[in-house]
């Protein structure tokens, strides 16, 4: 003989909420008022509960209703279930930074990392002492790495297009020429001809010799001489500080406070010269996977990055 299993009852969280109200109030009218519904609707729900649990739950005793033994046995458990449901289905609360114990992995260029890390460590010491940071070079394809959790945040020039990635712009910068103190280009006003005639170092992870500056020079039938291509902005600035090569570094737009991305060039003593050519602006942003958008710990991380990279007075 084959036994046929009875179908499982359909789960309805609203029934648990109604049962909690009925067992607490011991009154259909008061339970209805508590749940902002009509007494008639609450009476129908009580009938459904009685059929589901196969127990009258509340029975009339004079002018009041009293719970059955089964109802009394269910009261505390029902209240606990409803409280857990409320917690489960309520919007997440922001994480308390002081209780965080997390390591965040950020992928960014070395210059952005150098500008970002001191400020992040300072904020972590003040607000989230259990947080640490792992910075990775721009070695992973950011979209998949964000998706599978290998990195928590990408920061820098966000040039990949991934519809599921959340992107927020942090700052718009311009490129300026950086040279050592006493460099011939710093002795008088810079013009395109003198800029093109100087030796240049280019930063390219792919080893490319040309960039936007070459396109701007070509429009004036000028060509610069690139004597070195390096994969690191910090190495390029160190070379410029110790030789006559020119390197490009990001700086704040005119009228804005100095960008943290220029602090290393300033610390190396480099002179920053306006480039006398129209160059495209540099947008610095951060990208993350949308599953982290409502996460309290990740929210603190994004806010910390904003505070470090957005100079006062910028938008």
Is residue 249 within 8 Å of 261, Cβ to Cβ? Answer: yes
Q: Which tokens in the block code for residue 211?
A: 């960039």
In tens, the pLDDT along 259-304 reads: 999 999 999 999 999 999 999 999 999 999 988 888 889 999 999 9
Give the model's confidence band at 191: pLDDT under 50 very low, under 70 low, under 90 confident, else very high. Answer: very high
Output the pTM of the full model. 0.69
Q: What is the CA radius of gyration of the chain?
A: 32
In tens, the pLDDT along 53-94 reads: 999 989 988 888 889 999 889 888 888 888 877 766 655 556
Q: How many angstroms separate the CA atoms of 223 and 197, rounded?
A: 8
């Amino acid at each position: 003989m084959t036994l046929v299993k009875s179908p499982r009852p359909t789960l309805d969280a609203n029934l648990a909420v109604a049962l909690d109200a009925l067992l607490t109030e011991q009154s259909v009218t008061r339970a209805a008022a508590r749940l902002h519904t009509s007494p008639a609707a609450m009476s129908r729900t009580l009938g459904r509960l009685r059929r589901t649990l196969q127990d009258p739950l509340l029975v009339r005793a004079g002018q009041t209703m009293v719970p059955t033994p089964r109802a009394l046995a269910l009261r505390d458990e029902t209240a606990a279930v409803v409280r857990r449901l409320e917690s489960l289905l309520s919007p997440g609360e922001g994480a308390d930074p002081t209780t965080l114990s997390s390591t965040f992995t950020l992928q960014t260029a070395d210059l952005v990392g150098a500008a970002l890390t001191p400020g992040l460590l300072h904020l972590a010491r003040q607000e989230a002492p259990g947080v640490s940071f792992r910075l990775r070079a721009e070695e992973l394809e950011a979209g998949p790495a964000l998706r599978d959790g290998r990195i928590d945040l990408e920061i820098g020039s966000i040039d990949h297009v991934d519809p599921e990635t959340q992107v927020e712009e942090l700052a718009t910068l311009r490129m300026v020429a950086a040279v050592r103190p006493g460099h011939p280009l710093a002795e008088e006003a810079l013009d395109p001809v003198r800029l093109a005639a100087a030796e240049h170092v280019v930063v390219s992870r792919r080893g490319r010799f040309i960039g936007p500056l070459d396109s701007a020079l070509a429009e004036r039938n000028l060509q610069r001489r690139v004597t070195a291509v390096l994969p690191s902005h910090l190495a390029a600035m160190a070379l410029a500080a110790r030789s006559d090569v020119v390197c490009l570094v990001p700086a704040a737009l005119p009228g804005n406070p100095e960008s943290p991305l220029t602090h290393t060039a300033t610390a190396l003593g480099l002179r920053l010269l306006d480039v006398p050519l129209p160059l495209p602006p540099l947008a610095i942003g951060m990208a993350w996977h949308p599953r982290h958008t409502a996460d309290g710990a990740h929210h603190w991380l994004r806010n910390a990055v904003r505070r470090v990279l957005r100079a006062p007075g910028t938008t």
